[in-house]
Structure 1
Amino acid sequence: MPSITAGTIYIFGLTSLCAGFFNILRPRDALSALGLPNLPSVRPASDAMALAAIAMGIYYPLAAAQENRKFFALTVGMRLLTATIFWKNGGPWRTPALWEGLGAITTGVSMIWESK
């Protein structure tokens, strides 16, 4: 049975995978959700973010299946940094900031809980 921490990583990965596919399949909606204009010059950056989300959606569940505790720990700091940067951008960027931050905190707390 997977650990609670692996479960948090797995859920984060699946939500990332879904978000990535949504952004690829519905780019106008994705850009609108982040308050970005639907311009040809913005699409490459939007597509890159979507592909990065899809990649995370693949390797996070893989790390969860492997119970890769070092990976789990490293993601906490990076996700908190990402949440901070997104939060500073304000507006619609606060939603992904909360997703990143709450996910990181949940993973961190579960790692501490399981280490006792």
Structure 2
Amino acid sequence: MKRTYSGAPDGKGVVYEWDGNQEIGQGRMEITESSPPSRIAMKLDFIRPFEAHNMVEFTLQSRGDTTQATWAMYGPLPYISKLIGIFISMDKMIGKDFEAGLARLKAIAEDPGH
């Protein structure tokens, strides 16, 4: 997989692009808002194997000794996606990826030298 980083050195304007095989596909992600330590928003564009344009948002809320992390993705839902949604549960399809990503974030947050 080819990975490219460009744009700002950190925060708003950082761009990450990837281009891989059919399983990985091609896409681009750009940080559109960075409000440390509570929020980061990104524009996520998938180019292939299917085209999709979404917004991704991470919010962090202090809860005493812990921090609640929320990862959300939203965007337009074309007709074909609505049709697929009738037969395939999006939560079952990508929910495990969100859970794995949040688990990695937790591990890094709890062990910064990780």
Greater strand share, structure number: 2
The structure with the largest alpha-carbon Rg is 2
Greater helix share, structure number: 1
Q: Which has the higher contact order (CA 8 A, sep 6+)?
A: 1
